Structure 1
Amino acid sequence: MGQQKLRDAKKAQRSNIHGTLKRLTYEKLAEKANVSLSTVKRLFKGETLLTEYAEAITDALGVNLQDVIVEESANVDFPYDVERPSLESYCYEALFDSGSLVRIKAPHGMGKTSLIQKVICKFQNHDYTTVIISFNDAEQEDFYSLENFLRWLCLIIGNELNLQNRLDELWDCKNSNKINCTSYFQDYLLNSVKNQLILCMDDMDLVFQNLEEYEDFCGLLRSWYNKMQIRSAWKKLKLVVIHSTEVYMIKDINQSPFNVGISIEIPELSLQELISLDNLYQLDLEVYQIKQFMDIIGGHPELVKQAFVKLKHDQNISFSSILEYAHTEQGIYRNHLRQHLLNLKKQPELLQAFKNIVMTNSSVCLEDEVKYKLLSTGLVVLDGNNLKIRCKLYSEYFRNKLGNANE
């Protein structure tokens, strides 16, 4: 498996230098590959990365990127990646504005992280300092309290900027946690950056799910945005927030960063974009075949890429077999589908609501909280104010699974 090859390569390098140098940590690997720490961690977790970043890391480890591709995964944005210039340009131009805040919203697997990586890559060529952090890197104890969380946030940003940890020195227990965090960020972290800083916060949904005082954190981000509009020291900061869930739970709109700045939603791939992607992969599919494919999975970027990577690199599989077995335990999407089922079973209320949509085979009206949580899964789409199943793949798989009394 690809992830095991990465771990083995990292372990081998550590063994080669044992006794003479420090072990090869993620930090050292990031430095060696000239990429950020969070980028290294995302590759080892199997998350989506641009090819150039993935190659930099595997080259530093002395392994071939092709050997790291997991059989049933498409987690590396290969050169065969459809360009979405209008979307990328819109995001790029929005970040050029002074004191800008860009919010990127789409369900899991729609290409949020890939989009911002491409945009960030362009800014790095213009002498911008860029930091991408993922709240997925936080441990459960980091969400235990607002203080723990904000100290973790300052620590991880400082690590990405290669700055010494001065939290114990500068964190004043007489001040509130929000004041401490803002002071540490302004006086130490932001002050250390001489050019423009783009700070991207990915997986914001985890904050809503795990941090009890999430509204305080949202209020903090809103206060930063307000400072970015009027204070010269803050105008060099640009914020990007990436999330999947519709933000319905913040009671005070004046304490929310989700009603200011620029909002970008990522649509599914169009027929023409799939045709372009087919040309890049040199699969020579007919237009009618691509339409058949879209009839099953729509234009879901992650599912499209998974099928096209499989067809490109596995000579033992045919296009017709991918379509025939797509919704079954034999199909290439079985792990994707199982994961969705497991996630739903952890949330009985969501599972029941989703089952109603699947079994009625029509759009269903739900309470806002349940509706927005289901939307964030990517299994459903809006139909007016109601929800309906996203695509035939999900409809067929879950009708079989949820229609079985034993499931």
Structure 2
Amino acid sequence: MARSLKVKSEYIPRVKQAVRRNGYATQQLLAEELGFAKSTISLFLNGKPISNLNFFEICQSLGLDYREIADWDELEETAAATSEDEGENRAADFSKYVERLSNPNFFEICQSLGLDYREIADWDELEETPAATSEDEGENRAADFSKYVERPPVEQLCLETVRQAGSLLRIKSAKGMGKTLLVDRILSQVDKRQYKTVSLSFLQASKGIIGDLDRLLSWFALIISKKLGLAALFQEKWQEGLGLYSCTAYFEDHLLKKLDKPLILVLEEIDSLFAYTSVADDFLSLFRLWHEEAKNNNTWQKLHLIITYSTENYVPADLNKSPVNVGTEILLPDFTLEQVLILANKYQANLGKDELQKIINLVGGHPYLIQKAIYAISQKQLSLADFLETAATEEGIYGDHLRGHLLNLQEHPNLAAGMKKVVESSSPVDLGATINWQLHSLGLVTFVQNAVQPRYPLYSDYFRYRLSS
């Protein structure tokens, strides 16, 4: 069975309706909920191939029957090799489907068998039909900005930074703050005639790759080359077994010099690496090195890096500082009342300033929480009064969001104990530098000098109840 699936063309309208029916006002909201790159959701909704596992998870989230909407005929035509029995039973035999999902990819199989993937891969075929060239990337990432609300001066600062030779832009926040949509906004304002653009999400890499530095370096260089239509260059020039030098030498001596214009390289979800501390430290040091080299090296000035990551993954990785500390850092702020009013008008929600202020009084200006509330009320899924009554409960529209945070705390009893103290106190609490920082990384508290307090009343109300039992 092939490793990718796509939606049948006749089912595309249905899956787009399912997004709205399930309360996701935008593709970005669904992407944030699932922890996917927005480009993956866009490909799914437009009938483009995505990985089997991602296809199944999206279907589950939207209440869709993957066996019904998947283009199995297309899969039959393009599958590398399937038996007749597998072809007949491919939609129904879920146990085989799961088994095949767990198999390593081509790259990993070659490594485990001691085969040289550069020798046995069909590079000509790959060169002719790359999965996504840099020209395709712009189309795949095309976003609907009709609901986009700017947060000056964030957008202008990002754009000015990206246009600088050898730049490194870091966008970090807790989930739901709009990192992916901001990147899409930046890319939409870049002159495509002056830059090549490639995006890579580290969610695409398996644990076997992420946990091994040499594998990760090879995978990274290969995927970037493939997206640029230069897979054959990788086959010819990549030097295996030299660690970080392999990647630096390949980019400097071959890939960047091959390009006729600067490359904007977007690296998303790098927090997927954080749990593999030694690998992450070495791999992320590449970007610090490349950024420093760009100050005096014309070749490295052709590379413009955009890196995004969610701060929640600091906690399971037991980090007490940011893993990347060079370049220009962007911390995404909450919406102001004026920006919330703009968003409400874009949804044609019949909500005035006083009503919107009531929402803000509960969830602050958190973009995801605000957007979800405005959408639900504007679509008459619930009234403002019902929203205010149920928001901080698992019955309300934030039930999944709150349970997700609760699970994080339950997995780290020291954080749960700390959060309990915070929500039960009438004034800011100092839990010590590490606990303060980790709760802040989860997006649950804000700093008041050296102490912390609940970020929003939504969290105070919910966790005061849940953590008291």
Q: If the length of structure 2 is used for normalisation, what is the TM-score?
A: 0.69
Paired residues, number: 359
- 1:240 alignment partner, SS class: strand
Q: Would the alpha carbon gap of residues 211 and 188 (structure 1) be closer, same or farther in structure 2, given more than 3 Å must change?
A: farther
Whole-Å separation in 2 of the counterparts to 1:178 and 1:230: 20
Counterpart-to-counterpart distance in 2, 1:227 and 1:332: 48
Output the aligned Cα RMSD.
Answer: 3.1
| Aligned partner of 1:321 among 386, 390, 400 | 386
Amino acid in structure 2 at the alignment position of 1:307: A
Of 254, 262, 284, which aligns to 2:350? Answer: 284
SS in 2 for 1:186: helix
Of 205, 219, 222, the match for 1:155: 222
Relative to structure 1, the CA distance from residue 172 to residue 29 in structure 2 (aligned partners, 3 Å threshold; closer, same or farther) is closer
For residues 170-229 of structure 1, give each alpha carbon's deviation from its aligned partner in whole angstroms, at most 9, with x where no partner exists: 443563x11011122223432332211111222233322234232222322111111211
CA distance in 2, matches of 1:33, 1:321: 47
Q: Is 1:121 matched up with 2:188? A: yes
User: Could you tell me how far apart the structure 2 residues matched to 1:396 and 1:264 are?
Assistant: 30
The counterpart of 1:189, out of the listed 219, 232, 255, is 255
State the alpha-carbon separation in 2 of the partners of residues 144 and 127 from structure 1.
36
Alpha-carbon distance in structure 1 between the residues aligned to 2:425 and 2:372: 29
Q: Are the counterparts in 2 of residues 30 and 36 from structure 1 also a CA contact under 8 Å?
A: no
- Counterparts of 2:75 and 2:341, CA distance in 1: 51
Q: 1:366 aligns with which of 414, 418, 431?
A: 431
Preserved CA contact (<8 Å) 1:107 1:377: yes
CA gap of 1:296–1:29, structure 2 versus 1, over 3 A, is farther
- The answer on 1:335 being equivalent to 2:424 is no
- Establish whether residue 79 from structure 1 lines up as the match of residue 130 from structure 2: no
1:382 maps to which of 443, 447, 454: 447
Secondary structure (helix, strand or coil) at the match of 2:275 reads: helix
2:93 aligns to what? none
Q: 1:355 aligns with which of 411, 415, 420?
A: 420
CA distance in 1, matches of 2:336, 2:306: 26
Which one-letter code corresponds to 2:183 in the other structure? I
Q: 1:395 aligns with which of 450, 455, 460?
A: 460
Corresponding residue of 2:33: none
Q: Deviations over 1:91-147 (max 9, x none)?
A: 101111111111222222111221111101221544411122222222211222221
Structure 1 residues 204, 372: closer, same or farther in 2, change over 3 A? farther
Q: Which residue number corresponds to residue 232 of structure 1?
A: 298
Unaligned runs of 5+ in 2: 1-17, 20-57, 81-125
Matched, 1:264 2:345: no
| Cα deviation, residue 231, structure 1 | 1.1
Distance 2:212 2:420 in 1: 35
2:160 and 2:297 map into 1 onto residues whose CA distance is: 22
d(CA) in 1 for partners of 2:241, 2:349? 64
User: Quick one: structure 1 residues 160 and 375, their matched pair in 2 at CA, closer, same or farther if it must change by over 3 Å?
Assistant: farther
Query: Partner letter of residue 115 of structure 1?
Result: L
In structure 2, give the amino acid aligned to 1:95.
Answer: V
SS at match of 2:418: helix
In structure 1, distance between residues paired with 2:170 and 2:132: 29
The alignment-based identity, stated in percent, is 32
Residue 98 (structure 1) aligned with residue 151 (structure 2): no
Say whether residues 1:138 and 2:205 are aligned partners: yes
The answer on whether the counterparts of 2:200 and 2:267 sit within 8 Å (CA) in structure 1 is yes
Cross-structure match for 1:70: none
What SS does the corresponding residue of 1:198 show, helix, strand or coil? strand
Residue segments in structure 1 that go unaligned for 5+ positions in a row: 41-48, 53-77, 251-255
Contact 1:106 1:266 in 2 (8 A): yes
The letter for the 2-side match of 1:232 is N
Inter-partner Cα distance in structure 2 for 1:123 and 1:381: 34
Q: Aligned match of 2:275 in 209, 228, 239?
A: 209
Distance 2:67 2:369 in 1: 30
2:294 maps to a residue whose letter is M
Q: Distance in 1 between matches of 2:165 and 2:76?
A: 50
Name the CA distance, whole Å, in 2 between partners of 1:213 and 1:156: 18
- C-alpha distance in structure 1 between counterparts of 2:422 and 2:448, whole Å: 12
Asked if the contact 1:50–1:114 (Cα under 8 Å) also holds between the matched residues in 2, the reply is no
Q: Measure how far apart 1:378 and its partner are.
A: 0.9
SS of aligned partner of 2:226? helix
Matched, 1:36 2:142: no
Cα distance, 1:269 vs structure 2? 0.2
Match of 1:43 in 2: none
Cα 1:388/1:97, change in 2 over 3 Å: same
SS at match of 2:223: helix
The structure 2 residue matched to 1:15, chosen from 69, 72, 94, is 72
Shift of 1:300: 0.2
